[in-house]
Amino acid sequence: MPVLEPVPDRHRRAARPRLNAANARLNDAVTAVNNAQGALDEVIRKARELEETHGAEARDLAKKLQDSTKDLAPEEPGWLSKALSWIGDNLTNILRGRAAGGPAAVGASG
């Protein structure tokens, strides 16, 4: 095993300013990281707050919209699809009825 000899004082004195400068840069880097983390944490906090606010407002608006339109449209799923299907199935009769002069001919088939 090699024997380590003590570092002469002159080498230690010469290295001290470089070590101090490196420690100062390290401390500055740690401070910058901590500041960046603090800023990121604040952005995340504000984003969550915004999400909660907009979520609550959206739910409130959706409820108001649903309450104000509950009597305007049927809640039965597929109602529009069924109506469009009926129109498609009876389009020939509908057009014939219009051409013949009135809605009475439209309902005759179905």
The domains of the chain are located at 1-73, 76-110
Side-chain half-sphere of 23: how many Cα atoms within 13 Å? Answer: 6
Which has the minimum average pLDDT: 13-22, 62-71, 83-92, 101-110?
A: 101-110
What's the rounded Cα separation, in Å, for the pair 23 and 33? 15
Angle at 44 between CA 25 and CA 63, to 5 degrees: 175
Give the chain's count of helices (H) and strands (E).
3, 0
Amino acid 105: pLDDT: 47
Q: What is the pLDDT averaged over residues 60-82? A: 79
CB 99 within 8 A of CB 105: no
Q: Taking the model in full, what pTM does it have?
A: 0.45
pLDDT score recorded for residue 17: 95
